[in-house]
Structures are given as C-alpha cells and as structure tokens.
Amino acid sequence: MSKALRLSEKWFHRGLWVVALVFAGFLIGLGGTIVGDLPKVEQRATVEDFMDRSAVARARQTVKDATRARLDAQQALPQAQLKLKIAQADSQSARETFNNWLATRRATERPEQDAELIERTTRLDALKAAERTALAAVEAQQQAALDASQTASRAESQLRDMERDAQDALHKAQRAQELRVFLYRLALTLPLLAAAGWLFAKKRKGTYWPFVWGFIFFALFAFFVELVPYLPSYGGYVRYIVGIAITALVGRYAILALNRYLERQKLAESLPDAQRREELSYDVALARLAKGVCPGCERPVDLKDVKNDFCPHCGIGLHDHCGHCQARKSAFSRFCHACGTAANAATPADA
Ligand SMILES: [Zn+2]
Ligand SMILES: [Zn+2]
C-alpha cells in the first residue's frame, strides 16, 4: 500500500478498495445467512408463560361469570321495581277502600257484617304481604348485583397480582436470555476479531491486502453491529466499561505506534544523507515533496526558495545540480529535467 503516484496505479488502488468493500459485504451477507439458518436458540417468552394457567383461567372465568351475573341483576332490577310499585299501589288503594268501608260500618253498627270485616282484613294482609315480597325481590336483585361486582373486582385484583409477579419473572428471564444470546454471539465473533487482529498486524500490506481489509471490515462489522447492541447493559455499567477498555487499547496502540514512528524517524535522521535517500521510496519522496514537507523528516520546508538546497530541520539534501549540465534540480528526481542525464550517473558533488 505504498503511496502510488502513477495515475493507473492510483485507480487500481481505488478499485482494489472497492474489491475490499465488496468482499466485506459478501462476507457480512454470508455471516448473516449462516446465523439466520442456525436453529433458533431462544424463543420470546411472554407474561403468560410465567403464570399458573389454570389459576388464570379460573380467575378470568370468575370475572366473566360475575360480570354476566351483575348485568342480569341490573336488567332484572327495573322489572322488580315496577312490580313493587304496582304492589304498593294495589295495597294503597285497597287500604283506602277498606278505611272508607270501615267508617261506613262504624256509622251503621251492623254486627252481621263482621264476617265481611274479617274477609276484607285478610285480603288487605295478603296485599301487604305481596308488597313485601315485591320489595324483597328488588332487594335480592340489588344484593346480587353488589355481590357480583365485588366478586369480579376481587378476581381482577387477584389477576393483577398474578400478572405483576409474572412480569418480574419475565424480566429476570429476559435478562438471562439477553446474556445467553450475547455469549453465543461473542463465541462466534471473538475468533473473527482475533483473526482480523492477526491479519491487521501481519498481512495488511501484503499482496492480497484487499481481501485482508475486507475480512477486517467484516470482523469489525460483526463486532460493532452484531455484537455490541446485544451487550448486556446492567444499567450502562458494562457498556461504559467496555467502551473505556476499547478506547484504552486503541489509544495504547496509537501511542506506541507514534513512539515507534518517532524513534524510527530519529534513527533515520542520524544516518548519512546518501543512505537516507536510498531508504526513501521514490513515490513516497515525491508525495511528500508535493505536500510541501521534507521527504526525510516530514516537517514543512519552502521548496520554492531557490536558496533552499537542504532541509533546515534534518539536513537532507533537497536540491542539487546536474552532473552534466549543472542545472539546479530536485535531489530526489532520477533524471535531470534539463538534459535528461540519469541523476546517479553524476556523483553528488555538491550534496
Ligand atoms: Zn528534513
Ligand atoms: Zn542535466
């Protein structure tokens, strides 16, 4: 993965990155298909699974029966009330008739009417009794409605209690299930991640780098998209701690890489000019010059200044003169731009 400057090479590189991405995409698709085809290790539980089914059915039946009984009683109540009203009216009018008759009888004082008095009193008593019976029927319906609604509310609160207990059990089971799913996924993802880490460390610059990077993308996708969301939270503790651990690992790698780079750079800057020039790849040197930095130490240098023949920071030669025509040229170019003589044909007399 050197910094390519040739146009075709640049485009080949871009194409190979596309190959890496496409390769990663197909790997991700294949992984998803495999996971999808695996036997489902877990099934979704519901609240009902954690309730005593027969007890629930009994309680629900009780609620249903009581509700129907209450409705029946409420429908029967107006009928009973109407009958009571009629019985009260009958009794009332009979009493008035009787009182009138009694007044007449007192006035006439006829003893042969005693039998009729007894008969009328009996009839009046019967009407009074009918009135009481009708009242009792009304009270019975009211009582039935009250009983039914109390039974229903008792059964409902029993159901609610059962549901609350089941909800707790369900939450516990779901947490355990989340953990199991996470561990399954971890068992699948961890080897991928380890392989990706090894490939990154050893093979990322090899000939087959697009496939290596494709695999690394695939492993990262598996880790961050298919594993991290299933990380059990435990109130955020696990996520934050894992985040801190990953950041620490990445940070440590970056710090060590920076230190290694600085050490390498320091060592390179202490070498003689010719040797440094040999160790620098031609394309890297040109890319750095194009960015206006010294190819040796990567610090900014003013290349347009015609007096600037050496890097003021590390001392590497930036410009020299052609051995053939003495034209001032970049010390990194392979041929003289003025006469075409190969640069190494001339001994760097003024380097
Ligand atoms: Zn320099
Ligand atoms: Zn020349």
Q: What is the pLDDT of residues 319-338, one digit of tens each?
A: 989 888 989 998 888 899 99
**Ligand 2 center to 312 CA (angstroms):** 25
**Ligand 1 center to 316 CA (angstroms):** 6
**Ligand 2 center to 274 CA (angstroms):** 20
**Ligand 2 center to 336 CA (angstroms):** 4
pTM of the model: 0.57
**Residue 261 and residue 240: Cα distance in Å, rounded?**
31
CB distance 273 to 314 below 8 Å: no
**Ligand 2 center to 333 CA (angstroms):** 11
**Ligand 2 center to 191 CA (angstroms):** 58
Nearest-ligand number for the alpha carbon of 297: 1
CB distance 88 to 131 below 8 Å: yes
**Ligand 2 center to 340 CA (angstroms):** 6
Nearest-ligand number for the alpha carbon of 311: 1
Mean pLDDT of 23-45: 81
Query: What is the pLDDT of the chain when averaged over all its residues?
Result: 87
The pLDDT of residue 21 is above 60: yes
Sorted by where each begins, the domain ranges of the chain are 1-231
CB distance 341 to 335 below 8 Å: yes
Where is average pLDDT lowest: 123-127, 271-275, 287-291? 271-275
Cα 311 to Cα 200, 257, 265, 281, 300, distances in angstroms: 34, 25, 15, 18, 9
Ion ligand 1: residues, CB within 5 A, are 294, 296-297, 311, 313-314
Tokens of 250: 């990445």
**Ligand 2 center to 339 CA (angstroms):** 4
Tokens of 236: 């955020």
Q: How do the residues of the chain divide into helix, strand and coil, expressed in percent and rounded to 5?
A: 70, 5, 25
CA-based max dimension of the chain = 171
**Ligand 1 center to 269 CA (angstroms):** 8
Nearest-ligand number for the alpha carbon of 323: 2
Element (H, E) at 244: helix 237-269
Nearest-ligand number for the alpha carbon of 336: 2
**Residue 268 and residue 285: Cα distance in Å, rounded?**
14
Mean pLDDT of 261-277: 86
**Ligand 1 center to 259 CA (angstroms):** 18
**Residue 70 and residue 156: Cα distance in Å, rounded?**
15
**Ligand 1 center to 297 CA (angstroms):** 4
Nearest-ligand number for the alpha carbon of 294: 1
215-244: per-residue pLDDT in tens? 999 998 888 887 777 777 777 787 788 889
Confidence of residue 12 (pLDDT cuts 50, 70, 90): very high
**Ligand 2 center to 208 CA (angstroms):** 40
50-109: per-residue pLDDT in tens? 888 898 999 999 999 999 999 999 999 999 999 999 999 999 999 998 898 888 877 777
